Structure 1
Amino acid sequence: MSSRELILGRIRRALADVPREEKPNDVVVPRDYLRVHSSRGVDLLAENLADYRAHVHRTTPAGLPANIAELLAARGSRTVIAPPGIPAKWLPGSVVRLEDSAELTAYDLDAVDSVVTGCAVAIAETGTLVLDAAPDQGRRRITLVPDHHICVVRVPDQVVDSVPQALERLDPAWPQTWISGPSATSDIELDRVEGVHGPRTLEVVLVVSDKERPST
């Protein structure tokens, strides 16, 4: 018996008591599990992002352009790719902006110094950023090839506590990229290597509106 036959046989046995006319939506699946384990929101998000070796920055909408300019200057970036939804005022005049387009090859993207995007949602409990190819996020590949990624997160609008809450906001028909820190892997001796499957450096800018900032 082949492996294929073995697997299909197991599936048939598992479905033996399921009526042929039954559809997936006919069965109610209990979802009484704990949906949220912490309500610390953006503070927990920042801690988990930092734990994954992402660089976390906080600013206001007015201070965002200067913050991005500072990060790009520190990196020595001269070229930046940004999807159409990224406002021009976010980027300094000292860099050359490349628009996200289908004509850009992997070799073109590899030569780009940095990429600047927004995100769809950020998950505090897991320190995860989710991109879904919206206008301010662009094609998935622009966040996988360049070595430096600056991701802008609007606080508190785009921050949720848990994965179940994030899934409620996402459209499953859209392509999604889930990012927990910079790309990393390890060899058999557990030596960590970053930048293998994506950016070596991930900068997360948390944009907190003035009305959300605690008074001093």
Structure 2
Amino acid sequence: MTAREEILASVRAALRTADRTGIPVPRTHPAVADVVEVFAARVADYRAGLTRCPAAELPAAIRTALGPARKVLVPPGFPVDVEGGAPPGTDLTEFDAVVTTAALGIATTGTIVLDHGPGQGRRALSLVPDVHVCVLRADRIVPGVPQAVAALDPARPQTWISGPSATSDIELTRVEGVHGPRTLHVIVITD
């Protein structure tokens, strides 16, 4: 008997005596009491910044979130003027930061989803600059992934972002900014 045959025989023997009682899988998800609070906590868990402000204070909140960024990319359709902002050119590496909107946010995961509509631009815009400031209306935060999937158009391209870009080496040393922005700041518009 080969090693493969021995392993398969062991698996078959274990399956003959296995408990085959079905376990129901819930198809409803627990309600999230305050989606904005849960979203804010999850975004912080990812080491991303979060600011809440009314729409009237959005330009000031963007300036603060951008910090010392000198050249800021602003995709077409962004809802407010951004001081120092410029439309995308062919060389995205010349920009320090990007400011986008988001299609929605997911409370339980702290994820923002871009579907590349107005104010979001193409996917590369949110990956190349070192700082990403994302503006999200509070009423566009859904409790969980099932609600997000139901709300999104599957025919549109999507980019799901959970925190700044990060990776870890074999010793689990975290390095941010390797595959995208080193800094993510989400601004939630509260009105």
TM-score by structure 1 length?
0.74
Per the TM alignment, residue 135 of structure 1 is displaced from its structure 2 partner at its CA by 1.1
The aligned length equals 168
Q: Which amino acid aligns with 1:53?
A: R
Aligned to 1:110: 93
Structure 1 position 32, deviation (Å): 5.2
Structure 2 residue identity aligned to 1:134: G
Matched residue, 1:80: 72
How far apart are residue 158 of structure 1 and its match?
0.5
What does 1:70-149 correspond to in 2, within 5 Å? 70-72=64-66, 74=67, 76-89=68-81, 91-92=82-83, 95=84, 97-100=85-88, 104=90, 108-149=91-132
SS class of match (1:33):
coil
Q: Deviations over 1:156-180 (max 9, x none)?
A: x211001010111111111100000
1:45 aligns with 2:39: yes
Q: SS where residue 125 of structure 1 aligns?
A: coil
Task: Tell me the CA shift for residue 127 of structure 1.
Answer: 0.6
Q: Which letter maps to 1:33?
A: R
**Deviation string, structure 1 residues 18-77 (Cα, Å, up to 9, x no partner):** xxxxxxxxxxxxx952334533200000000000000011111000111112222x2x11
- Displacement of 1:152 after TM fit? 0.4
Q: Which letter does structure 1 place at the counterpart of 2:93?
A: D
Correspondence 1:189 to 2:174: no
Give the counterpart of 2:136 among 142, 149, 153.
153
Q: Does structure 1 residue 63 correspond to structure 2 residue 45? A: no
Runs of 4+ in 1 over 6 A off after TM superposition: none
Structure 1 residues without counterparts, runs of 5 or longer: 1-30, 210-216
Give deviations 1:128-161, integer Å, cap 9, x for gaps.
0000010111100000111000000101x21100
Aligned counterpart for 1:180 among listed residues 145, 150, 162? 162
Mapped contact 1:121–1:131 kept (Cα < 8 A):
yes
Alpha-carbon separation, structure 2, partners of 1:36 and 1:138:
34
Aligned-partner SS, 2:137: strand
Give the CA deviation at 1:99: 1.3
RMSD (Å) for aligned C-alpha atoms: 1.7
State the distance in 2 between where 1:88 and 1:206 align: 14
Mark the runs of 5 or more structure 2 residues left unpaired by the alignment.
Answer: 1-24
Q: CA deviation at 1:196?
A: 1.1
